[in-house]
Amino acid sequence: MNRKFKISTEQFKIIYPTNINPLSGSTFKIRLYKYMSFSRIMDVLINKELTFINPKLWKDPFEKMYLTTDYTELGFKQPQIYCFCVTTELKNEEAAWKIYSVKDERTMRCNIETKVLFEILSQFASENNFDIYFGNANYKYTTKEISNIQFPESKYHNTYFSDFSIIKYLNVMTIKRQAFEYENELRIFIVPNVNENQFEDIIKIKVSEDKLLKLFSGFTIQPFDPVVGESSLAKLERIKQDFEKKEISKSIKLLYGDTIVNTSTLYQNREPIEKIYLSKQ
């Protein structure tokens, strides 16, 4: 079950720690999903840590277009920020597997329990003088509109740049192009409460073993290419796929106990259709 809630900041803080702040219009879910390579998941489980990265490392130039903008006229100096991106939906599974897949390695989807994740982040924030914000990616705008938001004649200018604040800055950092709407991304930001740029591009958050064992509620291996026919090569390929599935499952369970490790059934039983049947009149 992955129920969705839209709640106010005040309502959210009754349930969750006060140093976690929803950005405007945020949609809250009790379960989130993250796509990672198998080796990356093993790193997380072995080292017991989550990785947040500076958005300057993002590949898409439109996503970091306003990251280092000069905001002095607005009386604002942006702090360093770090982000952990997850998805809230499984509606377009095929597109997600394709965009997040890693060359020469299996990609996996992790089920993340939101409450446990926020408890981990809240403890980190309290102990290290950080604040945490989260917000859904905003897929409302075209490429041209994103590029022109900074101009006063843009109809969206005041939405983002009047009464500018850290909240407004992070809202700008949730803007994505319309073409990526299928991602249904949620961005979780950690923001240090210091002005000096004293942090590296990556921040690793240690997770206690008891929290780690509650954080993930299951793992799904990316779909394997369908194998058609009963030739010797086809049978050998099925054996190789079954072996790989079992080895991945065994490796994760060795570190994470008796957890659920599935394989996506996206391409299961998708052999060519041989015949069209006429309806009976």
* 279 lies in some domain: no
* 276 lies in some domain: no
* 275 lies in some domain: no
Number of domain units in the chain = 1
* 32 lies in some domain: yes
**Terminal alpha carbon distance of the chain:** 41
* 273 lies in some domain: no
Task: Quickly list H helices, 48-86.
Answer: none
* 272 lies in some domain: no
Going by DSSP bridges, is the β-strand pair 261-263/202-206 parallel, antiparallel, or unpaired? unpaired
Going by DSSP bridges, is the β-strand pair 202-206/185-192 parallel, antiparallel, or unpaired? unpaired
Q: What is the pLDDT along the chain (281 residues), one digit of tens a residue?
A: 455 555 555 666 666 656 778 787 777 788 999 999 999 999 999 999 999 999 999 999 999 999 999 999 999 999 999 999 999 988 888 889 988 888 889 999 999 998 899 999 999 999 998 999 999 999 999 999 999 999 999 999 999 999 999 999 999 999 999 989 989 999 999 998 875 556 789 999 999 999 999 999 999 999 998 888 889 998 999 999 999 999 999 999 999 988 999 999 888 776 777 888 888 76
- For 110, the domain range is 4-263
Give the closest residue to 79 by CA, choosing from 67, 90, 96.
67
* 86 lies in some domain: yes
* 244 lies in some domain: yes
